[in-house]
Amino acid sequence: MSGIVIYLPQPSGAVGGAPCGDPVTLRLGPGETARFGRGSATIPVELRLDDEAISRLAGEIRVTDDHWQLSNHSTTQSYLVENPEGAGEYLRVPPRRAGAPIPFEFSRVVLPTRRDTTVAFQVFAPDHVYLDPDGPAGPGDGRTVMAYSLDETALYFLVLVALCEPRLRDESPVAVPTTPQIVERLRGHAACGRLRARAVSSHIDYLAEEKMRISTPAGNGPGGARRNGKREALVGIALRFGLVREEHLALLPPRAAAHTRARER
């Protein structure tokens, strides 16, 4: 596991819950830690959560070689760690619990507040280790790990299949679906009824930056061109290495429903 990515979307203020600041992204490698909470001049935190119900030092995240751990420093509040793609799967980390191991690839850490909304941030652990399926199952330093550790049950993999679909069906040798086209293509899927363009873009960024490790130079054309290049690169790698194959098309909703919606519009 090369590390994790922590994402706090638009921190909210303690009064009224209004957004107060830009989204925060932290990258941690094995052995590194990040503390979260309200913070103060004498209690610095890497992830500031501005809510009066959250402790100055609410907890800590620590990255190990093959997973990450959550410590709850509160004496009274439990925290939840949800798996957004796990059909309600979650862990409860009780007060004063130290080093609770978190197994999810995607996680949402949720802290209770006195408002009608909770405070939450996301943790992405992109490099879970998978053994070579053709190799021995035993432990050891000589094990072979997968170059691209993709979870075929995850939503990001569904986005990747939708990106690759036209070329797998031999419909277009050049064009890769745009973000709005992917949203429309996946809308009939049970897990994608509320999928939005911003979420699709986040999954594409996650695939490119963390899963496939594609680097797009900052100066390589305008933003739209960079995004198109990123999608093209993802499709190229996925198809060349057989990460997405024809049998994966069965994961997508039936095409007839998508075509019917398009005609109705």
The whole-angstrom separation of Cα 168 and Cα 173 is: 10
DSSP assigned state of 161: H
pLDDT at 74 over 90: yes
pLDDT at 173 over 90: no
Each residue's pLDDT tens digit, 179-210 = 999 999 999 998 888 888 988 988 898 898 88
Each residue's pLDDT tens digit, 2-22 = 678 898 876 554 444 444 557
Average pLDDT across the chain, whole number: 82
Q: How confident is the model at residue 226 (pLDDT cuts 50, 70, 90)?
A: low
- Cβ(5)–Cβ(123) under 8 Å? yes
The whole-angstrom separation of Cα 208 and Cα 201 is: 11
- Put simply, whether the predicted model's pTM sits higher than 0.85 gets the answer no
Q: Which of 116-128 are b and which e, b meaning 16 or more Cβ less than 10 Å from the residue's Cβ?
A: eeebebbbbbbbb
* Bridge partners of residue 60, in order along the sequence: 35, 71
Residue 259's pLDDT is: 52
Tokens representing 64 are 């190990």
pLDDT at 227 over 70: no
Residue 17's pLDDT is: 46
Residue 15's pLDDT is: 44
Q: Which sign, positive or negative, has the C-alpha torsion 129, 236, 238, 8?
A: positive
Q: Which of 16, 39, 35 is nearest to 117 (CA)?
A: 16
Instruction: Output 137 or 149, whichever has higher pLDDT.
Output: 149
Residue 65's pLDDT is: 79
Q: Any idea which of 136-145, 168-177, 229-238 has the lowest mean pLDDT?
A: 136-145
Each residue's pLDDT tens digit, 106-129 = 899 999 987 767 789 999 886 666
Instruction: Output 33 or 175, whichever has higher pLDDT.
Output: 33
Residue 10's pLDDT is: 63
* Domains defined for the chain, CATH in brackets: 4-124 (2.60.200.20), 155-264 (no CATH)
150-157 average pLDDT score = 88
* Bridge partners of residue 79, in order along the sequence: 93
Residue 18's pLDDT is: 47
3-state secondary structure of 235: helix
